[in-house]
Amino acid sequence: MGVQIEALFTSALGLQAPWVVRDVRLDTAKHRIDFDVECKQALLSCPACGAASQKVHDRLPRSWRHLDFFQYEAWLHAEVPRVGCAACGKTTQLSVPWAREGSGFTLLFEALALVMCQDLPVRQTARALRVRDKQLWRRIEHYVTEARKKQDMSKVRIVGIDETSLRRGHDYVTVVHDLDAKRLLFSTPGRDHQTIQAFAQDLHAHGGEPTAIAHACMDMSAAYLKGATAYLPNALVSYDRFHVVKLAGEAMDEVRTEEWKTEQARVEEALGHLTPKQRRSILWGMRRNPSGWSNTQTEAMHWLQRANLKTARAWRLKMALREVFANARSHNQTELAGAELRAWLSWARRSRLEPFKRLAATLKAHFESVVRGMLDHRSNAFVEAINGLMQQAKRAARGFRTAANFIAIAIAYLRLGKLTHLPASPFVPATALSAGITRHRV
> Minimum distance between the CB of residue 101 and Zn ion, rounded to whole angstroms?
17
Is residue 48 a contact point for Zn ion (CB under 5 A)? yes
Taking the least distance from each CB to Zn ion, the nearer of 54 and 174 is 54
> Do the strands 236-239 and 215-218 form a parallel or antiparallel pair, or are they unpaired?
parallel
- Tell which one of 46, 176, 360, 390 touches Zn ion (CB under 5 A): 46
> Minimum distance between the CB of residue 58 and Zn ion, rounded to whole angstroms?
16
Q: CA 12 to CA 5: how far, in whole Å?
A: 10
- Tell which one of 49, 131, 223, 307 touches Zn ion (CB under 5 A): 49
Buried-state track 36-70, b at ≥16 Cβ within 10 A, e below 16: bbbbeeeebebbbeeeeebebeeeeebebbbbbbe
Buried-state track 229-245, b at ≥16 Cβ within 10 A, e below 16: eebbeebbbbbbbbbbb
Taking the least distance from each CB to Zn ion, the nearer of 49 and 274 is 49
> Minimum distance between the CB of residue 82 and Zn ion, rounded to whole angstroms?
12
Is residue 56 a contact point for Zn ion (CB under 5 A)? no
Binding mask 81-120 for Zn ion (x = CB under 5 A): ----x-xx--------------------------------
Q: Is the dihedral of CA 68, 72, 73, 75 positive or negative?
A: negative
**Going along 3-123, which residue ranges are E strands?**
19-27, 32-39, 43-44, 54-69, 72-84, 91-93
> Minimum distance between the CB of residue 208 and Zn ion, rounded to whole angstroms?
40
Is residue 361 a contact point for Zn ion (CB under 5 A)? no
CA 370, distance to chain mean position in Å, is: 27
Taking the least distance from each CB to Zn ion, the nearer of 44 and 225 is 44
Q: CA 167 to CA 170: how far, in whole Å?
A: 6
Quick one: residue 421, left, alpha or beta (phi over 0 = left, psi -120 to 50 = alpha)?
Answer: alpha
Q: Which stretch binds Zn ion (CB under 5 A): 66-74, 78-86, 259-267, 307-315?
A: 78-86
> Minimum distance between the CB of residue 46 and Zn ion, rounded to whole angstroms?
3
Taking the least distance from each CB to Zn ion, the nearer of 46 and 286 is 46
Residue 27 burial (C-beta neighbours within 10 Å; 0-12, 13-18, 19+) = exposed
- The SS3 of residue 87 is coil
Q: Which stretch binds Zn ion (CB under 5 A): 40-48, 127-135, 197-205, 219-227?
A: 40-48
Taking the least distance from each CB to Zn ion, the nearer of 45 and 221 is 45
Taking the least distance from each CB to Zn ion, the nearer of 90 and 358 is 90
> Minimum distance between the CB of residue 49 and Zn ion, rounded to whole angstroms?
3
Q: Which residues sit at the interface with Zn ion, rule CB under 5 A?
A: 46, 48-49, 51, 85, 87-88
